[in-house]
Amino acid sequence: MKTFIIGISGVTNGGKTTLAKNLQKHLPNCSIICQDDFFKPESEIETDKNGFLQYDVLEALNMEKMMSAISSWKENARCSVVSTDWESAEEIAILIIEGFLLFNYNTRVYEPPDSPGYFDGHVWPMYLKHRQEMQDITWEVVYLDGTKSKEDLFLQVYEDLIQQLAKQKCLQLTA
C-alpha cells in the first residue's frame, strides 16, 4: 500500500480548510489532519506586549500530539484500490495536512477583522519568519496565488495531485 501526503499552508483564515475539504470530497481514500486541532489550551499560549495571544507560532501548538496523529494515520491508513486499470491497480491512502503558515498579505480580508495592529505587528512577521524557514528546506513546495478564486485554486491543486498520483502509478488516468 502506498501513502501520499499533501501539505497545505497559508494565511490564517485564508481558505486552507475549505481547500482541504473540497479535495477530500474529490479524492478517494483521503483524510485530513488540521493543525488547528492541536493548539495548546489558551492558558498555555503566551501573550505579546500588546496583549495578543500568540497563536501564530509553533510554540502555541502541541506538535508532538500532531506528529503522533500523523504517525497513527500512516500506520492505520485505510485505503481501497484506486485505478481504472485493475491489472496495474495499487492501493493508496491520501493524507492532507493543513496548517497555519502564512502568505497572501496584501489581499487578506475576512470577518471579523483582526484587532488593530495584530496582523501587521504579529501575524505578518510570523509569516515572514516561517516562510523563510520553509524556503530553507529542500522540499518541493508549490506556492499558490491567494488572490485567485477558491474554485481556481482547487482546480490547480486537484490537477497537480492527479498528475503526481499518475506519475507514481497510483492512479490510472483515462480519456
User: Could you read off the pLDDT of 20-49 as tens digits, one per residue?
Assistant: 999 999 887 889 999 889 899 999 999 989
Cα–chain center distance at 129 = 18
Cα–chain center distance at 8 = 2
User: What pLDDT does 113 receive?
Assistant: 63
List the catalytic residue out of 36, 85, 152, 160. Answer: 36
| 36 in active site | yes
Q: What is the pTM for the complete model shown?
A: 0.58
Nearest in space to 122 (alpha carbons), one of 173, 71, 52, 39:
52
Domains and their CATH numbers in the chain: 2-162 (3.40.50.300)
User: Could you read off the pLDDT of 46-59 as tens digits, one per residue?
Assistant: 998 988 898 877 78
**Cα gap 173→162, rounded to integer Å:** 8
Cα–chain center distance at 85 = 30
| Cis ω before 112 (30° cut-off from 0) | yes
Helix (H, G, I), strand (E, B) or coil at 173: coil
Pick out the chain residues at pLDDT < 50.
80-89, 101-109, 173-175
Q: 10 Å Cβ neighbour count for 22?
A: 18
